[in-house]
A and B are shown apart, each in its own frame.
Chain A
Amino acid sequence: MCSLALFPAPLPDGQTTLCESNNELLSGSDAEERPKQVRSTQPQELSPLSLFFPRESLKLHSRTESSSRAAFLDHSETLWMRSAAAWWDTHTHTHTHTHTHTHNCLSNIGLFEDYIIRAATVSRRLLDYSTFSALFTFCVARSDCVVRAFAWHPHTDKFAVALLDDSIKIYNPKSATTPTLKHRLQRSVAAVQWKPLCASALAVACQNCVLVWHVDPCSLSTRPSSGCAQVLSHPGHSPVTSIAWSPSGSLLASASPMDTAVMVWDVAAESCVPLQRVGGGGVTFLSWSPDGSHVLAPTPSALFRVWETRMWTCERWPCVKGRCQSGCWSPDGSRLLFTVQGETVIYALTFTDAPAGISTGTSKGPQAAAVVADLSETSFNTAHGDVIVGGEIQSLAWDPRGERLAVLLKGDPQAADRPAIIAVFKTRTNPVFELLPCGFVQGEADAEPRLMQFHPSFQHGALLTVCWSSGRITHVPFYFLSAGVPHFGLSGSPLLPRPQERCSALANQSLFTEMIS
């Protein structure tokens, strides 16, 4: 079962995906030349900021790292650590250097990753933190992407962007000021996330700590002082590469690939509870289910855990092939989709709560994961020749209504005809779980997608924000009427009644339908 065969062919070079309207992905050669029917269906008040961060605009310390690093060695590390880091630096620098010159660095990420994971299990700690940290986050190749992390505010239209120079900018379409957050401890930012049910709190995963910024939305200051940041640190818990707020905003979980414990922080009290389990050797990322009942915590080895948040016990899920690469939860928190490194399929796990009355608190999980999609390589015949799409999956994102699933495919940067691409599925969770093809999202010619996130509260469907390797951040709206959610004051015009002979044949073929046993 190959899911990609039913997709419409990818766009030719120079065409970018603009939006989905009337059940069809629309494209154009330039963002300004939007087709008329898009304008008509698109609500006028909505214009999220598209940003562009050219690499040259940042004063990057990575440029000067090899020369002046010695003078500014981090003194919080011990002498042994510093010498190890220096050793690593000298070795990896030459290594990276040569490879960057031969071909794009991206190709070696997989190799690097394997090497580092193996090295980490053999001799933990003998690693340069930033190298390690950079490899474990969703952003594959930090060497060519200026945007390190991106986070939408869960309730408003503002977002935070973490850049390669370790500064964080906050963009708000309603305000003229863009605060820039800088802090002494804010180094190697790997993830940012806004606190739910709060206007101001932003958690930042840094090298040695988690910073929680309190950025007053009414303030006119462009450089909030470092006094606005709470520092949450725990000895041995570094580098922090992933954070997750509980949906109720009361707890913050942080994880590090070098620490086997997941820290659960009570941010107000600045106290933490380490959740330690033997095995796995670290936690690569965290994902809190939208209903707050489970937390996904994969490890660098072929094992991932799912914590339930009532009594904080965990289920162990050993994978056959590799480590869990990415995962996402359905909006009701009952279904988990995940991908495994080295495999081209998406797995699903279903969590059902214990029947009412038996308040054991533990939810009975399934016995095995089911394959819901197979994204193995498929070749498309386009006007510019064959294009092969598919392969390993980098990350997954599911929109908050549960109607669109974006899958970032790694591709192969060495081969021009196998680009990294985002495949979007239409999904349905009620009454049964279904996957339908939607299309590919593509950017400019040389840009590859690095990060993607859905807007948490988009009124007219789903809004996918993509950070490209060129440093551009674009937004791809998917306009649709949600089946499950009632519409309060929808301002967009109704869908044009248009016959869709072309797409319907493809679109109505379900790729996966859950069997009700």
Chain B
Amino acid sequence: MFSTQQSCWFIRKVICWRAAASIAWAVLLLPPVTAVFVILSRFSLLHPIHTISGLSPLIHSEVLTCEAVLCTKLTPLFYLQNASPFIPTIACSKIALLGQLLHPRQFVNSSAHCIMGIIVAWCCAVTIGGRYETIGYPCTHSDGSTHMCLNEYHLILLLAGAFVGFSHSLLGVIHNMNFVSFHTVQQYKYLRFKGSLPLVVKCSATQALYSVRNYVVVYFFLGYIPKAWICKTLNLHLNSSIHPLDSIAGLLDLSLLYHLWISATFLLFTWYITLLLFRIFVTEVYNFPVQSSFTEEAHQCLPKVLTDKEPMILKFLALQDLALLSQHSPSRRCEVFSLSQPGGHPHNWNAISRECLSLLADLTQRLVAYHDTVATNGRAKSLSTGSERKTSSETSVTSGTEDLMSPRPTLMMKTPASVFARSIVGGPQSPLTAPFTPDLDSPFASPSLRRLTAPVEQCSPWHGTVQSPHVMRRVPKLWSTSTDSQANGSPPPSPASVASPQQQTSKPSLLAQFLQNRKEQVKHFLAKRVLIMYLFNKLPEASSQALFADSQAHIWALEGRRRWWTSLFSLDVDRTSQPQQCSLCPIISSSYRHFKLPHASSKPLRSASSMGDPTYKTLRFALRATLKTAIYRITTTFGDHLNAVQMSAEHRKRLQQFVEYKD
């Protein structure tokens, strides 16, 4: 995230320091955490006094552990740098998730985690001491000769570290652990940390428990492979007089299980605490100056910063500051409304207002595009479910035009996913993958290609059609209640078939038609295979989540704007008519996108104990609630003045419902 954007002043001056501070705190917290670990690892239930008296010579091992764990601290940050942490990466189909897990970057990430896990586990082994301390020990064979034998206890601990690291990195991808959400409740950093600390302890303990359980099962079945390999490379022997650990009797050693669990907890806790501190520091509110008297600082002011597309963090923090400023700080609000000295234009206000409006317009446009691509059941319209109901000829026409309308070279250039997916599955699926690729976020798309920067191009497989006039013509139709075909369950006419004039103008050649038919056959063949359908079927919930992945920005934009309007209204009435007029319509329209969303009401399952932040799953609900609140705020504040605003009859009808508190 910030390695590519070093040039930005904000990254240099703020984010780097915040990251450094979070790391510093994580390092400072390490000695007490290690001390607790040492005490817990040496604790023996039967001799509590002995535990305490045995602690004094442990200081040096603790120092050693601290130093070793220090380097592992950098792993999560490396991990965080990989993706833009403010927009979750949501896999829209099983194959996309698989692609994410098998991506080379993820492979590097996992191996780094494995190595760090092994290092920490080695430290743990040394700290715990006793039978875990070394990998080899001298043993006497039955014939009396002495050899170096493999200490399986040491090995099992090291492998456990590797396993926990690996599963941590896998779960990080699945649970979107690198996603950083912004809290609605602002608290001081220390209080936030204090509040989240019990959660982190709980999460690491439970996660370690699950990991150890899985690890024990894996070791029971596959433990002999690393054991034999280590013995061979290090020229060690297996002590046949000692019971092997990859047996039921060996693994049922409670003390061993406890040590495995406590080591895994320690490892996860150090990672989680770094993650937590990073989240807390990086999402801290930053106060941007509204206007500056020095021209060289003009680019750091709020109106200028808001219009910047990159980096993402800057945009998010600026919007957050905007929303909070509109709420809490009257003096800075006055600065926003101040008029420029020669001319008397509210430049600050204009810039902020324009940016908020364009954000909301983006969202509206994206929702329109999304609605055109999905059927009423929320799945991709053309193939996955629609093909059963449609006749085959219709399907071929649809996909044919689709191919024509979205030229493949463009598609591949935009989403490297399809290239990669083809190499996984093999064969000529590129026409198949095109409609199945997660529409909004291809898992391999670089963060710079994210939607906020280019919201329109990546919205749908039909990149070209979004801007086409018929979609724009269809827009008012979606808002009407009577003519909407989606309401009564029948699939709406696909945009491709509506766009028949375009198809006729460019008639495909005979060869192209033949190729098209071949493709269709392959597609049909593949569509009948259950496994492939399972992998490629879009998860409707996920695509809905992906659509609203960056909605936090829109929520702030809405909240900010709503508060600005109302404060403007209290200042003077005349100036407000203009912003009202231009901004109410997009709000209403985009809200109606929401209410019609097929999966808008399906609630995600809540994972109780996971460090992954599930907030992204509910962003659309938050956005909907914010929209409704914003409209109600507008109707209560402006009241009868709304009648003076020009808008279409349908909009007025909708608005009237809000005025009467009927929605």
Q: Are A155 and B636 in contact (CB under 8 A)?
A: yes
B661 contacts which of A217, A264, A313 (Cβ < 8 Å)?
A217
Give every chain B residue within 8 A of A357 (Cβ-Cβ).
331
Tell me if B615 is interfacial: C-beta within 8 Å of chain A. Answer: yes
In the complex, which residues of chain A have a beta carbon less than 8 angstroms from the beta carbon of B183?
273
For residue A198, CB closer than 8 A to chain B, the reply is: yes
Tally of chain A residues near chain B (CB < 8 A): 32
- Chain B residue with Cβ nearest A253: B185
CB pair B185–A199 under 8 Å, yes or no, is: no
- B341: chain A residues within 8 A (beta carbon): none
Determine whether A274 belongs to the interface, using a CB cutoff of 8 Å to chain B: yes
Contact call B618/A269, Cβ cutoff below 8 A: yes
How far is the CB of A347 from the nearest CB of chain B, in Å? 27
Stretch binding the partner chain, chosen from A244-252, A410-418, A460-468: A244-252
Cβ–Cβ contact B663 & A268, under 8 A: no
* Docked complex Cα distance between A248 and B637 (Å): 12
* CB–CB A197/B629 < 8 A: yes
Q: Which of A218, A267, A359 has the most CB of B within 10 A?
A: A359
Contact size range, B: 35 or more
With A155-B636, A197-B633 known to touch, is A271 a contact of B661 (CB < 8 Å)?
no
In the complex, the answer to whether B187 meets A199 with C-beta atoms within 8 Å is: no
How far in angstroms is the closest Cβ of chain B from A307? 11
Are the C-beta atoms of B331 and A218 separated by less than 8 Å?
Answer: no
The proximity string for B residues 620-641 relative to A, scoring 1 for CB distances below 8 Å and 0 otherwise, is 0110111011001100100000
A356 is an interface residue with CB less than 8 A from chain B: yes
**What's the Cα separation between A416 and B409 when bound, in Å?**
91
Say whether B195 contacts A276, CB under 8 Å: yes
Q: How far is the CA of A217 from the CA of B194 in the complex (A)?
A: 42
A159 to chain B, nearest CB (A): 13
A361 to B633, CA, bound (A): 24
Interface residues of A in 188-236 (CB under 8 A from B): 197-200, 217-218
Which chain A residue has the least Cβ–Cβ distance from B199? A274
Residue of B nearest to A214 (CB): B601
Which B residues touch A267, using CB under 8 A?
A: 625
By the criterion CB–CB under 8 Å, are A199 and B662 in contact?
Answer: yes
Docked pose: A275 CA to B191 CA in angstroms: 9
Task: Name the prevailing secondary structure of the B interface residues.
Answer: helix
Interface centre among B329, B618, B622, B661 (most CB of A within 10 A): B661
Q: Considering the complex, which residues of chain A in the window 364-407 have a beta carbon less than 8 Å from any beta carbon of chain B?
A: none
Complex CA–CA separation, A445 to B113 (angstroms): 77
- B525 close to chain A: CB less than 8 A: no
Scoring B residues 636 to 663 as 1 if CB is less than 8 Å from chain A, else 0, what string do you get? 1000000000000000000000100111
Within 8 A of A (CB), among B169-228: 183-188, 191, 194-195
A156 interfacial by beta-carbon distance below 8 Å: yes
Residues of B within 8 A of A273 (CB): 183, 185, 187, 195
Instruction: Say whether B328 faces chain A, with CB atoms less than 8 Å apart.
Output: yes
Q: Is B661 a contact of A199 with CB atoms below 8 Å?
A: yes
Given contacts A198-B632, A250-B629, whether A310 and B186 have CB atoms under 8 Å apart is yes
Nearest residue in A to B192 (C-beta to C-beta)? A273
A1 CB within 8 Å of chain B:
no
Contact bitstring A269-281, B, C-beta under 8 A = 1, else 0: 1110111100000
Chain A min CB distance to B5 (Å): 29
Considering the complex, give the chain A residue whose CB is closest to the CB of B606.
A270
Query: Which residues from B are CB-within-8-Å of A313?
Result: 188, 191
Residues of B271-313 at the interface with A, using a CB-CB cut-off of 8 Å, are: none
Decide if B186 touches A268 in the complex (CB within 8 Å). no
A311 interface residue (CB < 8 Å to B) = yes
Q: Are B329 and A268 in contact (CB under 8 A)?
A: no
Q: Please list the residues of chain B having a beta carbon within 8 angstroms of any beta carbon in chain A.
A: 183-188, 191, 194-195, 327-332, 559, 606, 614-615, 618-619, 621-622, 624-626, 628-629, 632-633, 636, 658, 661-663
Seen from chain A, the residues whose Cβ lies within 8 Å of a Cβ on chain B are 153, 155-156, 197-200, 217-218, 248-251, 264, 266-271, 273-276, 310-313, 356-357, 359, 361
- Extra contacts, 6 of them, besides A156-B661, A268-B625 (Cβ < 8 A), are A197-B629, A266-B185, A268-B618, A270-B606, A310-B186, A356-B330
